[in-house]
Amino acid sequence: MYDMTDPVAARRAAIAAEKERLARARERRSSREPAGANGFAQRKWRWLGVNGAEAVDTVLAVLKDLLEAPTLTDGQRDTLNRAATGAPDREALLPAVRAGLATLEPQDVLGHLRALWAVGVRWLNEPGSERCRILCSTAPGIELVNVRHRAISGGPAFSLFATAATRGAIPVPNAHLPHVLPWAPLSVIDDLVDHGGLMAEDRPWEVRDEADALYLRARLAPSSIGSQEAARLGWDDFLRRRAFLGGNTIVRQEPEDVWDLLYDVVADVHLPSLDALDTALPRAQQIELRNLKSGALNGQWAMETVRDKGLWKLMAALWRPTEPVDPTRSDFHALVALRRAYDLIKSGDMAEADRQVEAFLRKRAVDSLPAELMREAYTLAAYVAVAMSAGAGGSAKLALAEEHALKAAETGDATAERNLALVRTWRNTLRNQRGPMTNPFLDLGLDHAAEGWERHCRDLFRRHELAGDQASQARVNQAEDRIHDALRHEAGLDVFFRLPLVRSHYEMPDAVPRQLVPPLEPMARRTPPTSGTDLEAIRARAAVELLDDFRSTAPHLDRHGPTR
């Protein structure tokens, strides 16, 4: 009839259940023979805080139930019997009632305390009465919010009831946690976690069964969870994060999540996804991404950003330097400078390529950069000098090219040695007898020996034809003829000056970007709000704790008037 996961519906259900219980109690009292509820008997009971016929009948019903308890002493049973027959003992009755209630199940104790509270019988001390009022309330959450702080104190079960009724807003005192964690409903524990009333240092998983323990570790200590445990939990976000950090391919989701976007932007350098990634990232990583984007305006980033190799692809895609890059600034800048020089060569801008290569030939760069990087830089410098030797000062340029090629070949690299041999051959050949010395693949804007070069030539020729650029058409035809001619001879493509020496030295590393990866967050809550059944079970345990607040003697009363 009611959806107990809805707090409004749960409250309505509790009110309806209480009205039904009160109606049944009235029906039982009206059908029962009036036993000792006359005026004289009522005056006797007033001495014990029981006012009116309805209250007397309720007390007698409680006594009848207690008399069936097998563990009562003879004295306690005699006291209860005399009270049930109309002779209550003001001094001995309340201890006997407490002893009898202590023998009952928690739900029965709660039922009797509710019945007594409903007819105004106040056999608890002041703190106990305040807690009983809250326990008997049909809207305990509202009651708890409005009471004084001292009324919220109590035993472990009452503290847990206060937490459950307020959805974790009132925490369980630390001293009570060991007593309630073994049996508290998991939804109530989640309430405590959500409000910070339960921390990882409390280690609640140590007192729960295996399934609950794993769930609570994922909620409070996610770093302690392994991949297999996450798979058992079906914790998809953990598994996707672990796959991303491991450099594994992740299956795309619909709609895309932060891991899809990170893969798109960082691994595939899909710049249109930048804004979506910015929105999906937590605040700290969002700031890192924005700093990275702003640093791309002039190629200046914080050193921790530059050291994160997983960001290099994105940084290189965002940064378009228009001036020579200083390769000594960082390993990233050295790689960007090398790639820039190579790209300028392929675009045919030898003057700008020469300016960029010059940055590698300064003493500071030669002394600080890795040997394999300098070998590539010397190869680029040699090729630029060869390409520029067709103009004025050709002999000097070829001499410089041989000098650079010699330095590249000093480590014994076979390709570098072939390049050096080519340069020396050109130097020893008369100017009028030298053929073209540049690499035709690079003249076409391609990598050396690139696949699909013939199709590229056709496409390039058509573009120049549409533009009416006959000189460029001729250059395309010449490059194509040179490649065909080389392939017809035994030496093949080795007749061309080759660069790069090692292609991988120009590639951006495939690494995980540590700075943009969101931290591991605790697993999201999976339990529904505490059900009415669970709340009643906690309420019953808290009712048993109220027996410690039972008076030993009745409150001071006016036997001719109401309780004060």
Q: Quick one: pLDDT at residue 49? A: 87
Tens-digit pLDDT profile for residues 466-482: 999 999 999 999 999 99
CA 50 to chain centre: 58
* Gap between the Cα atoms of 116 and 118, Å rounded: 5
Does residue 135 carry a pLDDT above 70? Answer: yes
Question: 246 to each of 175, 231, 251, 289, how far by Cα in Å?
Answer: 42, 16, 14, 21
In 3-state terms the chain splits into helix, strand, coil percentages (rounded to 5) of 65, 0, 35
Tens-digit pLDDT profile for residues 332-344: 999 999 999 999 9
Burial (Cβ within 10 Å: 0-12, 13-18, ≥19) of residue 19: exposed
DSSP 334: H
Q: Please give the model's pTM, rounded to 2 decimal places.
A: 0.76
Highest mean pLDDT among 41-50, 122-131, 553-562: 122-131
Helix locations, 369-500, DSSP H:
371-388, 394-409, 414-427, 440-443, 453-467, 470-487
> Mean of the pLDDT values across residues 33-60?
77
* Gap between the Cα atoms of 79 and 83, Å rounded: 6
Tens-digit pLDDT profile for residues 249-293: 888 988 899 999 999 999 999 999 999 999 999 999 999 999 999
Q: Quick one: pLDDT at residue 457? A: 93
| Confidence label for 150 from pLDDT (cuts 50, 70 and 90) | very low
Q: Quick one: pLDDT at residue 556? A: 61
Does residue 224 carry a pLDDT above 50? Answer: yes
* Gap between the Cα atoms of 303 and 510, Å rounded: 19
| Confidence label for 7 from pLDDT (cuts 50, 70 and 90) | low
| Confidence label for 555 from pLDDT (cuts 50, 70 and 90) | confident
Tens-digit pLDDT profile for residues 359-407: 999 999 999 999 999 999 999 999 999 999 877 778 899 999 999 999 9
Mean pLDDT in the chain? 89
* Gap between the Cα atoms of 209 and 194, Å rounded: 21
Q: What tokens does 49 get?
A: 């805080």
Q: Quick one: pLDDT at residue 15? A: 77
* Gap between the Cα atoms of 173 and 177, Å rounded: 7
Does residue 88 carry a pLDDT above 70? Answer: yes
Q: Quick one: pLDDT at residue 558? A: 53
Does residue 503 carry a pLDDT above 90? Answer: yes
Q: Quick one: pLDDT at residue 305? A: 94
By percentage, how much of the chain surpasses pLDDT 90?
A: 71
> Mean of the pLDDT values across residues 121-139?
89
Q: Quick one: pLDDT at residue 39? A: 67
Helix (H, G, I), strand (E, B) or coil at 124: strand
> Mean of the pLDDT values across residues 209-234?
96
Q: Quick one: pLDDT at residue 34? A: 45
> Mean of the pLDDT values across residues 303-314?
95
Tens-digit pLDDT profile for residues 424-458: 999 998 888 888 899 999 999 999 999 999 999 99
CA 493 to chain centre: 54
Does residue 36 carry a pLDDT above 50? Answer: no
Tens-digit pLDDT profile for residues 163-210: 999 898 889 999 999 999 999 999 999 999 999 999 999 999 999 999
Are 225 and 218 in contact by the 8 Å Cβ rule? The answer is: yes
* Gap between the Cα atoms of 444 and 460, Å rounded: 8
DSSP per residue over 205-246, as a string?
GGGS-HHHHHHHHHHH-GGG--HHHHHHHT-HHHHHHHHHHT
Q: Quick one: pLDDT at residue 249? A: 84
User: For residue 391, which amino acid is it?
Assistant: G
Tens-digit pLDDT profile for residues 91-125: 899 999 999 999 999 999 999 999 999 999 999 99
| Confidence label for 412 from pLDDT (cuts 50, 70 and 90) | confident
Q: Quick one: pLDDT at residue 452? A: 92
Residue-wise burial string across 329-341, b where 16 or more C-beta atoms lie within 10 A, e elsewhere: eebbbbbbbbbbb
Among 67, 69, 35, 47, smallest CA distance to 121 is for: 47
